[in-house]
Amino acid sequence: MRRRVAVVAASGFAVIIAAFCALAFGSAKLSLGEVVEGLFRVGGDGTTASIIHAVRLPRCLAALLAGVGLATSGALLQSATGNPLAGPNIIGVNAGAGFSMVLIGCLFPLGYRLMPLAAAVGAFGCTALIALLAAKAGGERVTIVLAGVAISTLFSAGISMIRMIFPDISIDYAYFSIGGVSGVSLKQLAVPAVIIFSCVAAAFCVAQRLDLLLLGDDAAAGVGVRTKGLRTFALLLAGASAAAAVSFAGLLGFVGLMSPHIARRLLGSERMRLVLPVSAMIGGALTVASDLVGRVAFAPSEVPAGVFLAILGVPFFLTLLVGKRGRI
């Protein structure tokens, strides 16, 4: 029990430290007092308050929210499918969001404001289609993975075809596919925040039933769990949470894969009521830290957060791939 309390506290502390660093460091370095004054506009000068409220705070909150959404999605998927390598990409989030974005880009070249909505609709729509196909095929773990692979491949082919026909779209799609939170405003975060935290709350409500899936479908059904419906519901929650994050942060990779594994390793437990909040905090801290490094390490140039998440995620993925039963 002490270990788990310590892990929860340390995860929360990591989020606070990452957020403070994101607000304090940049082209203008701010002290703790200046950050506090700028946040609350108590005795802070106009320049400090403008730096924090106009630039750093929206970016910090965007990275934190994206990390929470993607980590929650990954935790739900890994639990529902029993696949330690599962992430938002396996349910078509990447392919659906990317296809919708390039489709809107070629149909409405000046419709930049439609892009976030198109990405979210495409991501969730693709997830819903995969959930429907998996349910029709029996709702078992393997059918979700196979349906995801098939639909993702189809939409990826559509993306390639559109980019060949309309090469001007490639630049916008390249940045979107890497993922980053540069230029995100607080107004853009309002609706995604409601969706993500609603998904977190709903996931927490079904966490105990998701734990029973670890016993196997027959054992779970024997204690009254409707495994098919539960998996479909978890899949839709994962899709909605990831789609909301994708709408403003692009296709940030590996957050949904890494965070739940780190949480389980630190906690020493598979219980979703513990894994969900800890993985959400770890995902938020990782994304905020990656965005900070991208801003500061190569200043005055900037590298998207998705690049550093990939640098962390690729060796992590390979370790899981070759490890016994996905252990780190």
What is the mean predicted confidence (pLDDT) over 224-229?
Answer: 85
Q: Taking a C-beta distance cutoff of 8 angstroms, is the pair 207, 272 a contact?
A: yes
What is the mean predicted confidence (pLDDT) over 59-66?
Answer: 97
pLDDT of residue 325: 52
Q: What φ, ψ does residue 138 adopt, rounded to 5°?
A: 120, -15
Instruction: Note if the pTM is more than 0.75.
Output: yes
- CATH number for the domain spanning 8: value is 1.10.3470.10
What is the mean predicted confidence (pLDDT) over 175-192?
Answer: 91
Q: Taking a C-beta distance cutoff of 8 angstroms, is the pair 248, 184 a contact?
A: yes
User: What is the band of 304 on the pLDDT scale with cuts at 50, 70, 90?
Assistant: very high
pLDDT of residue 328: 42
User: What is the band of 327 on the pLDDT scale with cuts at 50, 70, 90?
Assistant: very low
pLDDT of residue 301: 85
For the chain, what is the domain count? 1
Percent of the chain surpassing pLDDT 90: 51
DSSP string for residues in 196-250: HHHHHHHHHHTHHHHHHGGG-HHHHHHTT--HHHHHHHHHHHHHHHHHHHHHHH-
C-alpha angle 274-277-280 in degrees, rounded to nearest 5: 135
As a whole number of angstroms, the distance between CA 288 and CA 79 comes to 25
Pick 238 or 43 by higher pLDDT.
Answer: 238
Q: Taking a C-beta distance cutoff of 8 angstroms, is the pair 248, 192 a contact?
A: yes
What is the mean predicted confidence (pLDDT) over 66-87?
Answer: 92
User: What is the band of 258 on the pLDDT scale with cuts at 50, 70, 90?
Assistant: very high
Q: Taking a C-beta distance cutoff of 8 angstroms, is the pair 101, 116 a contact?
A: no
pLDDT over threshold 70, residue 42: no
Q: Letter for the amino acid at 203?
A: A
pLDDT over threshold 80, residue 97: yes
**Domain range for 48:** 2-326
As a whole number of angstroms, the distance between CA 221 and CA 108 comes to 49
Instruction: Determine how many CB atoms are found less than 10 A away from the CB of residue 56.
Output: 23
Closest CA to 179 of 296, 79, 300, 69: 69
pLDDT over threshold 60, residue 44: no
Q: Letter for the amino acid at 146?
A: L
As a whole number of angstroms, the distance between CA 187 and CA 60 comes to 14
Q: Taking a C-beta distance cutoff of 8 angstroms, is the pair 101, 176 a contact?
A: yes
